[in-house]
Amino acid sequence: MIRPARAARHGSIFVTAMWVIIIVGALLVVFARSMRVELIASGNRLSQVKADAVELGAEQYVLSLVDDTDGEAEYVLDQTGEAIPVGDGYFWLLRPASNEQTYEFGITDEAGKVNLTTAAEPQLLMLPGMTQEAADSILAWQDATGKVTGIGAGTNYYNTLPEPYKAKASQLETVEETLLVKGVTPDLLFGVDRNRNGVIDPSESSHSSGMANAYGVISNRGIFPYVTVYTMEANTDSLGQARVNVNTPPGATVVTTNGKGATPQAAPNRGGGPPDNPALRNALTQAGLPAARVNAVVSRAATSGPFANVFDFAKKVELAPQELRQVADRLTWTDQKMLTGLINVNTAPREVLLTLPGLQESDADALIAQRQRSDLTSIGWVAEALTTDKAALIGATITNRSYWYSADIVAVSGDGRGFKRVRIVVDARNTPAKIVYRKDLTSLGWPLPVEVRSALRSGQSPPRVGQAGGRQGFGVR
């Protein structure tokens, strides 16, 4: 009678022990899984910290390249921007290629774009997909007096919105600010390139409608790659010296050629002979023109003004293209100390060149062809690509120097688990160069082919996915 009871007790102890083992095992599994999740999360956080550090390194790389370049954009644009190692991570500098299906890497020249703060209506309307309403509204948004022209919108319109606001009545501070302007939509600004990597991915191409300018040039990337709000440069030569104004300002001291000496007056001279501009004479002499040519040019200048720009001056005083190359950097047509919104013809893409006043497609193509084989250190090369009349039309809107650059930085940790994407704009007018705009774009997602991160996660080096930059890329072509 006793033995069965003892056996029953032994059986219950065994069952209890089994349940304890099962529960403890389950707890261990749950704990192990929790630890695994924490381990993965810690690894991801560490990878993200590494990616953040790589991105900061990329910013310093960009600053070092654009610093103290004296406006020479070609050197900056030719520098590599693909899979640059920092520690065990890498970074890329995205920029749009001339081909919408091709990746290109490098720093972007902001001066190769249309400046929305200074562009006139005809220039805005030449941008791909730009509408009359959007162009007029962009101008009205920035008008200090609140004036609205054409079919643009002003404060009265914005006050009727569900969340009302006023027109700014001041210059745009970022390109993205235009999304507040009537007529400027995400489709106009970014096209179907919603991750803004410059490439129309397969998922985006299925929604592509294409936005054309007046010449039928289509952009699926919107106007964003072609516009800026930053460009500005000092009205000085490459050595930082003040340029000579070919338009002798009223009240200036000029020296007459009739032997009567210096007379404060405006050209033309009322004393009987054409005035001599000693500053102009000195600039032409220092540029290396022979004395006979200097005398001829100064004499014609005294009676041929006013001059709309340096190319207009060259046309009216009959400077040869090679002579213009020699003197162009030393001359100006205005007393303004700072010149805003000039387009760098050395680097501007075809879409931007087509916005220049009076140019046709053949003219843009001629500029692109000429700059591939020319010395671009003097803007005088433009007179070799265009007729003198065409060069004079665009002379007041162009430059061959750049002091503002942007970089779309994609940084990734060495294991491919963490990445960061940031767009910066750099002002390189002074040393050291400084970042004036910074926007985190990580939320737009991974902008490169998935094979890049897959290779890193497999312990391999990232594959090349881009084309060569420099003169063959978007920035200079």
Per-residue pLDDT of the chain (477 residues; tens, 9 = 90+): 455 555 566 678 878 888 888 888 888 888 777 777 766 677 778 899 999 999 999 999 999 999 988 899 999 999 999 999 999 999 999 999 988 889 999 999 999 999 999 999 999 999 999 999 999 999 999 999 989 989 999 999 999 999 999 999 999 999 999 999 999 999 999 999 989 999 998 878 765 555 655 555 567 899 999 999 999 999 999 889 999 999 975 434 433 333 333 333 344 443 444 567 899 999 999 999 999 999 999 999 998 989 999 999 999 999 999 999 999 999 999 999 999 999 999 999 999 999 999 999 999 999 999 999 889 999 999 999 999 999 999 999 999 999 999 999 999 999 999 999 999 999 999 999 999 999 999 999 999 999 999 999 999 999 999 775 544 344 443
Residue 210: predicted pLDDT: 58
Question: Any residues with CB less than 8 A from the CB of 242 and at least 6 apart, and which?
Answer: 235, 236
Between CA 343 and CA 353, with CA 348 as vertex, the angle to 5 degrees is 80
Residue 452: predicted pLDDT: 96
List the one residue out of 215, 55, 199, 60 whose CA is nearest residue 130: 215
For residues 154-182, b (16+ Cβ closer than 10 Å) or e, as one string? bbeebeeeeeeeebbeeebeebebbeebb
Where does 203-278 show beta strands of DSSP type E? 211-212, 218-219, 227-228, 232-234, 244-245, 253-256, 262-264, 275-276
Neighbours of 335 (CB within 10 A): 11
How far is the C-alpha of 66 from the C-alpha of 426, rounded, in Å?
8
Residue 355: predicted pLDDT: 97
The token pair at 155 is: 């404060």
How far is the C-alpha of 270 from the C-alpha of 364, rounded, in Å?
43
Residue 269: predicted pLDDT: 42
Percent of the chain with pLDDT over 70: 86
Task: Tell me, rounded to whole angstroms, the distance of Cα 280 from its chain centroid.
Answer: 34
Identify residue 213 by its one-letter amino acid code: N
Q: Say if CB 191 and CB 211 are below 8 A apart.
A: yes
State whether residue 227 is helix, strand or coil. Answer: strand
Terminal Cα-to-Cα distance of the chain (whole angstroms)? 103
- What's the predicted TM-score (pTM) here? 0.85
Q: For the chain, give percent helix, strand, coil, nearest 5.
A: 40, 15, 40
List the one residue out of 387, 355, 381, 352 whose CA is nearest residue 369: 381
How far is the C-alpha of 477 from the C-alpha of 470, rounded, in Å?
8
Write down all domains in the chain, each with its CATH number in brackets.
Answer: 1-117+338-477 (no CATH), 118-232 (1.10.40.60), 244-335 (no CATH)
